[in-house]
Amino acid sequence: MRRLKYTPLLAALLAAAPVISHAVESAGNNMPLIPLSPAAKAPAPDLASPSKNLVKAAPSEDAFRETDVWNRIRSGYAIPDLNNSLVAKHVNWYAERPDHMARTSARASLYLFHVVSELEKRGMPTELALLPFIESAFNPTAVSSANAGGMWQFMPGTGRDFNLKQNAFKDDRRSVLASTDAALTYLQRLYDMFGDWQLALAAYNWGEGSVQKAIAKNRAAGKPTDFDSLSELMPAETRNYVPKLQAVKNIVANPGRYGLSLPLIQNEPYFTAVDKTSDIDLTVAAQLAELSVDEFKALNPQFKRPVITGGEQTQILLPKENAEKFHLNLAQWGRALSTWSTHKVTSARESIASLASKFRTTPEVIRQANNLPSRGVLKAGSTILVPKISASAGDIPTEIAENATINVADEPVAKRSNYRQAKATSSKTKSPIKLVKARVSRDDAGKKRRN
């Protein structure tokens, strides 16, 4: 059986899945519970002297002899098991949704080899590779209601703390490589802080300060400080967070027990990194790699604009066979790789319509390229993409790409008279013409729009 191949049909399957951050808490509240085998509970950690990570410091040769990434994950389980009613509820939730598990596993097939390899390099438990099942359903473009983004659901500020760049051209919270590196670094730091993987996971979801306060409260009351004992102090999302991961862990350990099957994901890299030598349009990059735009975006979701900019460290990810095609086609291309440049708005008089005329395009093209609303005006200081009008125009400077911002203001509403003339009266009447005040609500006159 061959590795799950990424095709346009699979791309459509992946796109059909909902963009969600966490499984809906209310789903399955009344589900019958599936009994699970007993599991040992971890003792309460001594935070003054965190225990050592018992996972091997490097992947063993046996890990690379596996033919299936799922087996590689199973062999590296190292987090003590939870066995409670919440775990059983969430196991049941996933077991009753085979379509959701199939879609999520199909997405995961692109990324799991890389994530597991990175975990093994760091000597971390391999079940952490399943965390994006909970965070984003392995959707690298997922955005939560709280504006957490990417496969690992980083908040903007936390992302910046871990060097995930966020600007007008890209959002590294979506980057497969950068976000995975940041997430594992963060999780390891939390483990070093608490000496317990369950508490580290709770802190990843709730914040380390919140977990520290909960530990202090239980200690002051003479109570244990393990995850189960602290769960009553946690918000519902965090209280369910580790049980959800345990539920997925149980299913991956023995999918047949729950009436599910997992697609074979061969134990070999799905993608390889290709260095970007100059600016390149996203559509051109996909064409050179002989991929659809959707297939290209699935591996390179961090690029927010139709052109890929950046310095020498910028890379694009491609399936191995497509990377070879990319290099061959690039050598024979013989045309411009990028059709875009930038323009900095200097005054409010530079409307989108006037800019479109200046750069020989349409307002719709500029709005679409810069993800601008259908109404609204650009504020002075905004840096936007515009079509190149000169063949000699070079690449977009890295400092411009990394510091570009786009700010949109509400479009001014044309002033209207507060009065309207009454209808003409019959010549037989002698009533004077009255002035009637117009009843125009503030909302109708002009609604505020998000910048």
- Dihedrals phi, psi of 10, to nearest 5 degrees: -65, -35
Q: What percent of the chain has pLDDT over 90?
A: 70
What's the pLDDT score for residue 397?
Answer: 93
Q: Which residue did the predictor score with more confidence, 379 or 422?
A: 379
Give the span between the Cα atoms of 276 and 309, in whole angstroms.
9
Strands 340-344 and 383-387: antiparallel
Q: Is the pLDDT of residue 59 over 80?
A: no
pLDDT band at 69 (very low <50, low <70, confident <90, very high): very high
Hey, which residues are catalytic here? 135
pLDDT band at 371 (very low <50, low <70, confident <90, very high): very high
Cβ proximity of 82 and 242 under 8 Å: yes
Strands 280-281 and 307-308: antiparallel
3-state secondary structure of 378: strand
Give the span between the Cα atoms of 372 and 375, in whole angstroms.
8
Supply the DSSP string of 160-175, one letter for each residue: HHTT--BSSSBBGGG-
The tokens describing 257, both together, are 């027990």
What's the pLDDT score for residue 374?
Answer: 86
Q: Which residue did the predictor score with more confidence, 394 or 52?
A: 394
Q: Is the pLDDT of residue 30 over 80?
A: no
Q: Is the pLDDT of residue 32 over 50?
A: no
Comparing CA positions, the residue from 115, 118, 370 lying closest to residue 265 is: 115
DSSP conformation class of 381: T
Q: List, in order, residues 6 or more apart from 338 with CB less than 8 Å away.
A: 278, 279, 280, 281, 284, 307, 388, 395
The tokens describing 255, both together, are 């999918």
What's the pLDDT score for residue 152?
Answer: 98
Return left, alpha or beta for 334; rule: phi > 0 is left, psi -120 to 50 is alpha, else beta. Answer: left
Give whole-number Cα distances, 200 to 44, 100, 193, 407, in Å: 13, 27, 8, 38
Task: State which H helix or E strand residue 71 sits in.
Answer: helix 69-75
3-state secondary structure of 22: coil
pLDDT band at 376 (very low <50, low <70, confident <90, very high): confident
Mean pLDDT value of segment 347-370: 93
What's the pLDDT score for residue 2?
Answer: 38
What's the pLDDT score for residue 449?
Answer: 47
Q: Is the pLDDT of residue 122 over 70?
A: yes
Mean pLDDT value of segment 182-204: 98
Q: Is the pLDDT of residue 439 over 50?
A: no
Which domains are assigned to the chain?
A: 69-258 (1.10.530.10), 271-332 (3.10.350), 340-410 (3.10.350)
pLDDT band at 50 (very low <50, low <70, confident <90, very high): very low
pLDDT band at 249 (very low <50, low <70, confident <90, very high): very high
Q: Is the pLDDT of residue 89 over 50?
A: yes
Mean pLDDT value of segment 296-324: 95
Q: Which residue did the predictor score with more confidence, 271 or 26?
A: 271
Q: Which residues is 385 bridged to in the sheet? A: 342
Q: Which residues is 437 bridged to in the sheet? A: 419
What residue type is 328 in one-letter code? L
Neighbours of 26 (CB within 10 A): 7
